[in-house]
A and B are shown apart, each in its own frame.
Chain A
C-alpha cells in the first residue's frame, strides 16, 4: 500500500523557518518525480515546487523562489521542503504528491497519482 506522510508543520512567526518532511513507502520512491502543493485556508490548490527523481531538475513557484528549498533523499525514501523567511501568506496545508506510470508484470502501464494527508503551516505572530 502506498503511503505518503508529511510532518514538520506548525506555528511559526513571520520571518522564521520550518522544514517539512514527507516519508514515502509502497512504491519505488527513487524512480519518481515529486511535488509540493499547498492550499491556503478556503483557497485553491497552488503548486509550490518540483524535484525530479534524482534531483537533476528543480523548479519553484515564483511566490516561494529564493525562500524555499526542495530536496530528497532516495536512500531514506524522503522528500523535504525547507522554508525560510516565512510570510503570513505561506499559511497553508502543504501536501507532498507524486504522479507517473508504473508497469505491471505483463508490461502494461498504469498511471498513479498519490497525495499525503497534508501538514498545516501557520505563519503568525
Chain B
C-alpha cells in the first residue's frame, strides 16, 4: 500500500544543533516526495521537494535526498534556530488520484535557546 512513516516526536534540540527527522515511504514506482512545515496556528508551507531518485531538495538550510534504495527522504539541517520550531510533515504523491498526497503523522520540533 501507500504510506509514509516519520520518526516520533517531539524532538527537542538546543540552538545550533544538527537536526535529522527520518521519513520512509512505501511505494510502487517513483512518487514525488515533499517536506512541509507548519508553524503554530498556520497552514502548511512547502519546505522542499524532490521528484526523482537521487534528487536533493533544499531550502532555508534544510535538505533531503530522495533515496530509492532505502525508500527514504530524511530531513536534515546543520544548525537549527529557535525559529525552526514547528511541526514537520513528510509526504509522497500518489499516481493518478487527482494529485493526492499521503502525509506522515508529523514530527514536532522544539528548539531551545
A and B are interacting partners = no
Footprint of B on A, CB under 8 Å?
A: none
Footprint of A on B, CB under 8 Å?
A: none
